[in-house]
Amino acid sequence: MKEPIITLDNEIHDRHELTQKAIEDSFYYGYLSKACLSSSAISQLLKSPLEYLNKINLPTESDALAQGYLFHASILEEDKFNQCLFLDVKTKASKEYKLAKEQRWDVFTVTDRDKALRLIDRFYNCKPARELVENSKFEVPMVNNLMDYPFRAKADILGEHLIDLKSTAFLSKFKYSANTYNYDSQCYIYCNLFNKSYKDFKYIVIDKSPTNELGIYDVSEKFYYSGEEKVEYAIKVYENYIKNEFNLKDYLVEETL
């Protein structure tokens, strides 16, 4: 049965059809990035409406985003990891590397590959982490309404638990950086889109240091509802400044110190 959903461009779609198309990265990160809100869009709106519009109109690639893709692909999508181009160059400033990046975006160094392989070994040789993802599906897309707005999401791992993979420079600081990077709003969005309780949501986090420390984090009720508050606030920002076409030349922050 078809289930209509209205995207941000005021087009009517079948929600199930959009979700199916979202399996393809080109559609998920292409059309849906402008037609739906997401956890990343919420983070941008929490910063400012200008940040949101800048990312929508001028999408940028960064080494951090590329490394995040490689990390996820190495553990969750072996076929995509194997399709990446790994160059044996000393630096990414080399002519060979720059030329390759002009032709395709999934270009990495052999050093990047070796680091990713260590993460794979660390992850799958850790019994609690390995068992947590057994009998689960990887990279599962979803498009649905939340707070009367269309949202998109891709669950890294979906099974008995809803799990998101993260890498970090300092595992010991993850509990604090989770709030800074608005992972609470991601938790709230994903739980609602995939119809999961916050009690079933977990983060698996790997430290990028040579020791590759690994952590599994549950989320609290407080964390979940903190995410809800952020999503509500971000949607108000969207309505006030984007939907109502506020003249952003007049946008500024006014506070008292």
Taking residues 152-162, report their average pLDDT: 96
67 in a structural domain: no
User: What tokens appear for 151 in the block?
Assistant: 């949202």
- Residue 111: the pLDDT is 93
pLDDT 10s digits, 50-90: 999 988 765 556 666 777 888 889 888 889 999 999 999 98
C-alpha span between 193 and 176 (Å, rounded) = 25
Which residue is associated with the tokens 């964390």?
A: 223
83 in a structural domain: no
Kindly tell me if the per-residue pLDDT of 223 is higher than 90: yes
- Residue 211: the pLDDT is 87
121 in a structural domain: no
User: What tokens appear for 133 in the block?
Assistant: 């993802």
Q: At a CB cut-off of 8 Å and minimum separation 6, what does 65 contact? A: none
User: What tokens appear for 2 in the block?
Assistant: 């078809």
Taking residues 222-249, report their average pLDDT: 94
36 in a structural domain: yes
- Residue 238: the pLDDT is 96
49 in a structural domain: yes
pTM (two decimals): 0.91
96 in a structural domain: no
- Residue 69: the pLDDT is 85
149 in a structural domain: yes
pLDDT 10s digits, 177-221: 999 999 999 999 999 999 999 999 999 999 988 889 999 999 999
- Residue 71: the pLDDT is 87
Closest CA to 111 of 127, 123, 126, 94: 94
Q: At a CB cut-off of 8 Å and minimum separation 6, what does 206 contact? A: 71, 119, 122, 123, 165, 166, 167, 168, 171, 212, 213, 214, 215
Angle at 58 between CA 101 and CA 151, to 5 degrees: 105
Q: Domain residues for 192?
A: 4-60+130-250
How, if at all, do strands 162-168 and 149-158 pair? Answer: antiparallel
CATH code of residue 29? 3.90.320.10
What confidence category does residue 245 fall into, taking pLDDT thresholds of 50, 70 and 90? confident
Give, to the nearest 10 degrees, the angle between helix 63-76 and helix 110-124: 40
207 in a structural domain: yes
Closest CA to 224 of 186, 184, 256, 255: 184
β-bridge mates for residue 205, sequence order: 166, 215
Number of domains in the chain: 1
| Mean pLDDT (the chain, rounded) | 92
